[in-house]
Chains A and B, each alone.
Chain A
């Protein structure tokens, strides 16, 4: 049976891991390669690296980082943050990343999804969607949730699927940073609208939240950052608990 996946997310700024809450009060958390290797050792099923740096140097540092991560890791990893063209994606994939995540660029230029899928295959293309509820409707937001759009989450997810994405990474801005649990009802609804695998993100605070997101939210994978970075949840303990709750888990 296919296992549910646990995915730690590492925020990267200028080649270093940073820890913070909602991109605020960032502090250096060390070498991303060493942290990634530790998570892999502890049983992470996959990793996501999100580049949040905005300097001119970002391309080169990111490229070096991707190659170093690829050399150190023997589990799959996704790289996102600022990927806006075929060239950006190619640079990340040729250095050993398994998938690229695109977010704002996909909304601004939806054809980018088709282009990337045709070039590298759907399996490489993760479309990240940030959304929150506005008047009880889930609306897609850009730039880490700051810029609202008129796009409906579910319609956009269907379009993304039709255009050839291989996976959706859905972050609920309403839940992100709250530690009150994932957006389970929206996730369950999303799973009915599209047939793509869905990574749930935003809201992880304790082990029960992960059980809920798989049992009620019907997610295929759960992503979290701070609960892992701040050692609030250990991956081996989490995975054992999920297994005890009759979820399919790779131990």
Chain B
């Protein structure tokens, strides 16, 4: 098993790599299409802003590679948002794997949402052994809507998708690498996928 963690040098993906090290899983931080294609699992943490991330992906043609991958792929935070067709952050097109539009939180809310929020309506293999009501750590100003692919919901002014799955593509809005034991369990569940 070898995990490719997509890194285009715009922020902190070290924590993801450290979390995988802690689980004893070989991993590489990379933006090289060949390494990504040949990995057993791919993690896409997303770094910086949506526009900048899509630009970096395009410069390596990763925007075309990612949707064609057949191994399990996990988008984290911005990585979940970019699975969608479009995001209001910078008004850019995402990877289009899941239909829908990512929007900015509105109303009298503190932005970004920062801290530990509870997950509900959990479904699918990522949440094996993770109970509804479990807290995970997240930081974000934009949210994904509820869609047929939603596998987890959180509430911040409204219900939104905190987890999604379409075929081999998984996305979580929270940071499993920063969410203590529950996050570790989720990463282990992802690594069990074939």
Contact = CB atoms under 8 A, between A and B. Distances in A.
Q: Interface size bucket, B side?
A: 35 or more
Interface string A73-100: 0111000000000000000011111100
Interface in B119-171: 135, 137, 139-141, 155-156
B22 interface: yes
A23 B10 CA distance: 35
Interface secondary structure of B, over-half rule: mixed
Interface residues of A, number: 34
Interface secondary structure of A, over-half rule: loop
A70 B12 CA distance: 11
A193 interface: no
Contacts of A97: 12
B39 interface: no
A122 B137 contact: no
A231 to B, nearest CB: 22
A187 B109 CA distance: 16
Interface stretch (A1-9, A24-32, A54-62, A150-158): A1-9
Contacts of B22: 71, 74
A70 B112 contact: no
B67 interface: no
A220 B117 CA distance: 13
B175 to A, nearest CB: 8
Given A74-B180, A195-B111, 20 more contacts: A1-B155, A2-B116, A2-B156, A3-B135, A4-B115, A5-B115, A5-B116, A46-B115, A74-B183, A75-B180, A76-B178, A98-B178, A121-B48, A121-B49, A123-B140, A167-B114, A195-B109, A196-B110, A220-B110, A220-B115
- Give 8 nearest A-B pairs by CB, closest first: A250-B135, A123-B139, A96-B14, A250-B116, A3-B116, A197-B114, A2-B117, A93-B12
6 contacts: A2-B115, A2-B156, A75-B178, A98-B15, A123-B141, A250-B135
